[in-house]
């Protein structure tokens, strides 16, 4: 089952039309389905719909390709399986199945919209899907060939510029039209001794005209680590000031291109510059094969080291690389507290491969490299389906281990600022209580003041036993169910691949056990909560 927030249902029915709100919602969903704008046309069963809208059910059925329910829309499903499920579907559906299925918005669309834009050729960039990575880019390239014999392009140039025919969005409201903001400060959220390095980041929005609401994400264009840039320059034996258009090679390597996974085109370029066995290896890597079992670990520098002595022309080298993509972070502050200061909660990604530490480009840019006063290119990414309930009296349950706490800090600050009477329950967890209790003072104070009605904690490395948020949810399943019955909205934020799936399973089990129903019914119930925006996720 998909766990990502759905895009908003557009409104086709005028407010003056003689329908109840439920009828209007259902009709809008139906029409969105018919027009191909929404995956699921309605949360209601046919019988329920018939009760609500007698006579309207004779409306023409949605086109077949929209009735498929997008069974591949699961971020944990491997690409070959997704493509198999979409095999007999029209091209836009197969394009969609090739995406990472997170609807994360990093490409500037959700998965279905990105597929639609490629199909309509209003978007030509095939390498925008961050969660899908190289596998998605390769599959899109293959599928794109079906489009009237259109040339498959993997544009290399790096810039936050829009595709030619894409409409330009308002300043600072999308990756295609960012603005500059100033970095203010960082503060480490873990205590010394933690295995994690997580930062509370503050950014000054003054003078940007940007506004946001809690639940939105913040996008930014990072810069590559200067040591890595220097190592790449050394590997290709090129001077940093080599001119590339109106910039220098060093500048383009800093903020223009991704130095992370080596793209197929780089191996293709290398294959032209080598011979014999090395050429065959490069060709196989360019075709997505893994001749030496190390393909997944080859970033640009490792790829150059694998073929020592290859000295590509700097211009051709840059053209063979992927553009440096922006990254998104859930906003962890409320504009009601301070409208011009935005906070983020960022985990520094670091891992070792072959004795070289690899650094996540944007998280370590924020965590280590940027200095107070530096300007960053940013934008606000709206999250219309990750928002507090309109009614401030509604109870909310927030499940956010690790950096998943970010939007919930924002929610709590907002509910505090507006004196919302609704109850608030937070499930937070991380590795160790003594080191990784982010915002401990704030949360404890909120608990004491009563703002936080309940705070349930899960520490995965305090004992031999892994305790995760979903274990705690099950322990208090009866109370969880009672909050749900009181109309609580449920929110999940954090890791998409493991946590969100396991939390969803726990939710289904709690509903089945305490609601006294079969698992299939519990799944349907959860689907209805999701359709009513009472179950919302922001996972990555
Ligand atoms: C809507 C949304 C909200 C988000 N909110 C937050 C947030 O609040 N806080 C936050 O910290 N992040 C958040 N993220 C994730 C964030 O956008 C970045 O993906 C994250 O910071 C990593 O980016 P990076 O540039 O530092 O790393 P990259 O340079 O992109 O490197 C990350 C990649 O490195 C590889 N990798 C990572 N660890 C390992 C390992 N151990 N072994 C091998 N390979 C590995 C993986 O391929 C991974 O994709 C969010 C993402 C989305 C889409
Ligand atoms: N590539 C990946 O597979 C992956 C996975 C998660 C996060 N990330 C990245 O790491 C960064 C954020 O990490 P983070 O700081 O938010 O912490 P995190 O790595 O998501 O960990 C937060 C807590 O969740 C626990 N956890 C692990 N598996 C879980 C599961 N199946 N169900 C519930 N909880 C589980 C962790 O326990 P233990 O670690 O002790 O098991 C830890 O206590 C982001 O950049 C994100 O994209 C990547």
Counting from 1 in the atom list of ligand 2, the atom nearest the Cα of 430 is 43
Helix 264-273 crosses helix 133-144 at what angle (to 10 degrees)? Answer: 80
Count CA within 13 A, CB hemisphere, residue 510.
23
Across residues 257-264, what is the average pLDDT?
96
Report DSSP letters for 106-121, one per residue: TTSS-HHHHHHHHHTT
For the stretch 492-507, pLDDT in tens is 999 998 999 999 999 9
Report DSSP letters for 443-472, one per residue: HHHHHHHTSSSEEEEEESSSSSS---HHHH
Counting from 1 in the atom list of ligand 1, the atom nearest the Cα of 383 is 1
Instruction: State residue 457 phi and psi, 5-degree precision.
Output: -115, 145
Per the structure block, which two tokens stand in for 42?
Answer: 């309605």
> Which run of H or of E encompasses 474?
helix 469-475
Q: How far apart are CA 469 and CA 130, in angstroms?
A: 27
Q: How far apart are CA 452 and CA 444, in angstroms?
A: 9
Q: How far is the CA of 339 from the centre of ligand 2 (A)?
A: 30
pLDDT of 7: 39
Q: How confident is the model at residue 68 (pLDDT cuts 50, 70, 90)?
A: confident
User: Is residue 539 pLDDT above 70, yes or no?
Assistant: yes
Q: How far apart are CA 465 and CA 250, in angstroms?
A: 48
User: Do β-strands 356-359 and 350-353 pair in parallel, antiparallel, or remain unpaired?
Assistant: antiparallel
Q: How far apart are CA 440 and CA 198, in angstroms?
A: 14
pLDDT of 43: 36
- Percent of residues, the chain, with pLDDT higher than 90: 79
For the stretch 430-460, pLDDT in tens is 999 999 999 999 999 999 999 999 999 999 9
User: Is residue 36 pLDDT above 50, yes or no?
Assistant: no
Q: Which residue minimizes the CA distance to atom 6 of ligand 1?
A: 329
Q: How far apart are CA 229 and CA 254, in angstroms?
A: 6
Across residues 184-208, what is the average pLDDT?
97
Q: Which ligand is nearest to the CA of 457?
A: 2
For the stretch 261-319, pLDDT in tens is 999 999 999 999 999 999 999 999 999 999 999 999 999 999 999 999 999 999 999 99
The mean pLDDT value of the chain amounts to 87
> Which run of H or of E encompasses 489?
strand 489-494
Q: Which ligand is nearest to the CA of 469?
A: 2
Q: How far is the CA of 363 from the centre of ligand 1 (A)?
A: 7
Which residues are CB-contacts of 417 (< 8 A; sequence separation ≥ 6)? Answer: 334, 336, 337
Answer yes or no: is the C-beta of 431 below 6 A from any ligand 2 atom: yes
Q: How far is the CA of 404 from the centre of ligand 2 (A)?
A: 9
pLDDT of 172: 95
Answer yes or no: is the C-beta of 502 below 6 A from any ligand 2 atom: yes
- Closest alpha carbon to 503 in 398, 388, 386, 399: 399
For the stretch 384-437, pLDDT in tens is 889 999 999 999 999 999 999 999 999 999 999 999 999 999 999 999 999 999
Instruction: Please say whether the beta carbons of 157 and 256 come within 8 A.
Output: yes
Q: What is the pTM of this model?
A: 0.85
Answer yes or no: is the C-beta of 498 below 6 A from any ligand 2 atom: yes
Q: How confident is the model at residue 153 (pLDDT cuts 50, 70, 90)?
A: very low
- 151 torsion bin: left (phi>0), alpha (psi -120 to 50), beta (else): beta
Helix (H, G, I), strand (E, B) or coil at 187: strand
Q: How far apart are CA 512 and CA 116, in angstroms?
A: 37
Ligand 1 neighbours, Cβ below 6 Å, are 104-106, 217, 260, 327-330, 345-347, 349, 351, 360-363, 403, 406, 538, 540
Q: How far apart are CA 428 and CA 456, in angstroms?
A: 6
Q: How far is the CA of 401 from the centre of ligand 2 (A)?
A: 8
Helix (H, G, I), strand (E, B) or coil at 182: strand
Q: How far is the CA of 317 from the centre of ligand 1 (A)?
A: 26
Answer yes or no: is the C-beta of 540 below 6 A from any ligand 2 atom: yes
- Closest alpha carbon to 42 in 59, 52, 32, 29: 29
Q: How confident is the model at residue 31 (pLDDT cuts 50, 70, 90)?
A: very low
Q: How far apart are CA 530 and CA 489, in angstroms?
A: 10
pLDDT of 150: 53
pLDDT of 149: 66
Q: Which residue minimizes the CA distance to atom 46 of ligand 2?
A: 495
- Looking at per-residue pLDDT, the higher value among 410 and 163 belongs to 410
Instruction: Please say whether the beta carbons of 100 and 129 come within 8 A.
Output: yes
> Which run of H or of E encompasses 198?
strand 198-204
Answer yes or no: is the C-beta of 198 below 6 A from any ligand 2 atom: yes
Q: How confident is the model at residue 105 (pLDDT cuts 50, 70, 90)?
A: confident
Across residues 6-24, what is the average pLDDT?
48
Per the structure block, which two tokens stand in for 483?
Answer: 């909050």
Count CA within 13 A, CB hemisphere, residue 397.
23
User: Is residue 216 pLDDT above 70, yes or no?
Assistant: yes
Q: How far is the CA of 203 from the centre of ligand 1 (A)?
A: 19
Q: How far is the CA of 499 from the centre of ligand 2 (A)?
A: 7
Q: Which ligand is nearest to the CA of 345?
A: 1
pLDDT of 328: 97
User: Is residue 152 pLDDT above 50, yes or no?
Assistant: no
Answer yes or no: is the C-beta of 401 below 6 A from any ligand 2 atom: yes
> Which run of H or of E encompasses 350?
strand 350-353
Instruction: Please say whether the beta carbons of 336 and 392 come within 8 A.
Output: no
pLDDT of 207: 93
Best residue among 218, 363, 499 to mutate for probing ligand 1, ranked by most atoms within 8 Å of CB: 363
Question: Count of H helices and E strands in the chain?
Answer: 19, 15
User: Do β-strands 396-399 and 424-430 pair in parallel, antiparallel, or remain unpaired?
Assistant: parallel
Helix (H, G, I), strand (E, B) or coil at 395: coil
Per the structure block, which two tokens stand in for 304?
Answer: 């150059």
Q: How confident is the model at residue 154 (pLDDT cuts 50, 70, 90)?
A: very low
- Closest alpha carbon to 361 in 223, 254, 251: 223
Answer yes or no: is the C-beta of 435 below 6 A from any ligand 2 atom: no
Counting from 1 in the atom list of ligand 2, the atom nearest the Cα of 436 is 43
pLDDT of 158: 36
Counting from 1 in the atom list of ligand 1, the atom nearest the Cα of 359 is 29
For the stretch 343-396, pLDDT in tens is 999 999 999 998 999 999 999 999 999 999 999 999 999 998 899 999 999 999
Best residue among 332, 364, 402, 460 to mutate for probing ligand 2, ranked by most atoms within 8 Å of CB: 402
């Amino acid at each position: 089952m998909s766990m990502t927030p759905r895009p908003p249902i557009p409104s086709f029915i005028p407010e003056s039309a003689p329908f109840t709100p439920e009828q209007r919602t259902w009709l809008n969903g139906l029409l969105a389905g018919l027009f191909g704008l929404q995956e699921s046309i309605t949360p209601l069963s046919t019988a329920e719909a018939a009760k609500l809208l007698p006579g309207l059910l004779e409306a023409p059925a949605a086109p077949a390709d929209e009735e498929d329910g997008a069974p591949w829309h699961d971020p944990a499903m491997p690409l070959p399986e997704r493509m198999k499920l979409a095999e007999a579907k029209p091209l836009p559906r197969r394009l969609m199945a090739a995406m990472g299925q997170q609807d994360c918005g990093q490409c500037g669309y959700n998965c279905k919209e990105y597929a639609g834009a490629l199909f309509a050729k209003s978007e030509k960039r095939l390498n925008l899907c961050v969660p899908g990575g190289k596998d998605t880019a390769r599959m899109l390239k293959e599928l794109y060939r079906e489009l009237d014999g259109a040339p498959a392009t993997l544009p290399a140039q790096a810039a936050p510029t829009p595709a030619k025919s894409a409409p330009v969005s308002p300043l600072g409201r999308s990756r295609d039209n960012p603005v500059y903001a100033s970095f203010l400060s960082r503060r480490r959220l873990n205590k010394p001794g933690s295995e994690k390095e997580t930062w509370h980041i503050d950014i000054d929005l003054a003078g940007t005209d940007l506004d946001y609401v809690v639940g939105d994400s913040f996008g930014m264009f990072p810069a590559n680590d200067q040591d890595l840039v220097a190592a790449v320059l050394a590997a290709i034996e090129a001077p940093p000031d080599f001119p590339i258009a109106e910039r220098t090679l060093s500048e383009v390597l800093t903020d223009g291109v991704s130095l992370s996974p080596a793209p197929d085109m780089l191996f293709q370029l290398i294959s032209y510059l080598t011979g014999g066995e090395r050429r065959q290896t490069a060709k196989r890597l360019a075709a997505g094969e893994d001749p030496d079992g190390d393909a997944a670990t080859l970033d640009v520098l490792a790829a150059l080291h694998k073929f020592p002595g290859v000295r590509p022309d700097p211009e051709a080298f840059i053209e063979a690389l992927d553009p440096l993509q922006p990254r998104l972070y859930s906003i962890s502050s409320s504009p009601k507290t301070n409208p011009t200061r935005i906070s983020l909660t960022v985990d520094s990604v670091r891992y070792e491969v072959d004795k070289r530490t690899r650094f996540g480009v944007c998280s370590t840019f924020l965590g280590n490299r940027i200095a107070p006063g530096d300007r960053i290119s940013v934008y606000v990414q709206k999250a219309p389906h990750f928002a507090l309930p309109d009614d401030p009296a509604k109870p909310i349950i927030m499940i956010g281990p690790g950096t998943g706490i970010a939007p919930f800090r924002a929610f709590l600050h907002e509910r505090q600022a507006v004196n919302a009477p609704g109850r608030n329950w937070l499930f937070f967890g991380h590795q160790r209580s003594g080191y990784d209790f982010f915002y401990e003072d704030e949360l404890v104070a909120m608990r004491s003041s009563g703002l936080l009605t309940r705070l349930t904690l899960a520490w995965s490395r305090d004992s031999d036993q892994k305790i995760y948020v979903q274990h705690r949810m099950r322990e208090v399943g009866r109370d969880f169910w009672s909050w749900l019955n009181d109309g609580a909205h449920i929110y999940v934020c954090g890791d998409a691949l493991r946590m969100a799936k396991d939390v969803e399973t726990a939710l289904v089990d709690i509903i089945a056990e305490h609601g006294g129903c079969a698992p299939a019914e519990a799944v349907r119930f959860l689907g209805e909560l999701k359709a009513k925006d009472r179950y919302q996720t922001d996972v990555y």
